Structure 1
């Protein structure tokens, strides 16, 4: 009789899989509601920042597609400035964090709880990137011009050399052509060097 009493499972210890699944679903729903509420809060703060930058968005050239200034939903939501930089809300749900991905890793450019201060920082960043782009375009044009001048000098030197027999050695035209080619390569190197370190900055 005592053996049978030991084998009986008390009613309080009976487990219900259905009840456990219901509890898990309720807990997940509550977590989802909290996550959605937090994302909506972050999205609202990013929308405030985007509104601060509406004037900047309107002034961007139509043919310049490097800047977005758009809030993209996600976990967490982000406001993308360009393909390498964006703003997120920090864990305190109040602080804006402006980060940029570089060759050396992710860099935080600014953290602030002020949408106005963050908008000023982003405006300066956009202005710097636009000036960098203008310099790059200008250097491309200058390099093409120098190459064209060097090619022209070489052609002229070649035509003069063919026009009259040479006694040996290099003519003045060839020397000028070589000099111009060296100058073009040097300018291109300096521009590339400056652009590279400007990008890292």
Structure 2
């Protein structure tokens, strides 16, 4: 092959590689734009939900550290309610998903393309958490009166009867064991000493 032909082929390869790299860069940029658009769409919907819940957020005492009420950035924006519960968008970017992390895994508390039912579920969740915190702070502890209550007296009586029955049962087993032991010894003596057998028979 001539040098001119090699140069033409080489030039063609260079132009093809450059075109391919340009196409890959354009495709990556398009994908990035799509990701950014999807992220912005998710964030916009979560902002709408936050606006819907703003009166509820405002009713929560400012000194209550249990709640976050913030939209996090990232590839998948989330509206955080507290440390374990948040709202995120589904893969279709239209479905609201209210999730909570538990010891057994992640639980879906609400899922809907409609904003209202998810906002209602978030409101109920906040109310439930506030009631739990209030009960924990106030302490639902009832002081029991001194002395045995009727229920405690009944339990004590049953325990006393059970202990007495156990004692009698054990005593009976001891006596039965003694009788069996004496009978066993008597039978052994009877077989080993014929003269004693005859002596006893004479009587």
Q: Shorter-normalised TM-score: what interval? A: 0.5 to 0.7
Matched residue SS, 2:61: coil
Matched residue SS, 1:14: helix
Match in the other structure for 1:112: 112
The 5 A counterparts of 1:1-201 are: 4=1, 11=9, 14-16=13-15, 17-139=17-139, 142=141
Find the aligned partners of 2:75 and 2:31 in 1 and give their Cα distance. 14
Find the aligned partners of 1:133 and 1:38 in 2 and give their Cα distance. 37
| CA displacement at 1:136 relative to structure 2 | 1.5
Can you give the 5+ residue segments of structure 1 that lack an aligned partner in the other structure?
Answer: 154-171, 176-201
| CA displacement at 1:73 relative to structure 2 | 1.7
Find the aligned partners of 1:93 and 1:135 in 2 and give their Cα distance. 38
| CA displacement at 1:18 relative to structure 2 | 3.4
1:94-131 deviations in whole A, cap 9, x for unaligned?
11000000000001111011111111110000000111
Structure number with greater Rg is: 2
| CA displacement at 1:69 relative to structure 2 | 2.0
Can you give the 5+ residue segments of structure 2 that lack an aligned partner in the other structure?
Answer: 149-203
Find the aligned partners of 1:68 and 1:115 in 2 and give their Cα distance. 20
Matched residue SS, 1:88: strand
TM-score, structure 1 length as denominator?
0.63
Match in the other structure for 1:180: none
Greater RCO, 1 or 2 (C-alpha within 8 Å, sep 6+): 1
Find the aligned partners of 1:40 and 1:73 in 2 and give their Cα distance. 10
Find the aligned partners of 2:118 and 2:110 in 1 and give their Cα distance. 7
TM-score, structure 2 length as denominator?
0.62
Find the aligned partners of 2:65 and 2:45 in 1 and give their Cα distance. 25
| CA displacement at 1:20 relative to structure 2 | 2.9
Match in the other structure for 2:181: none
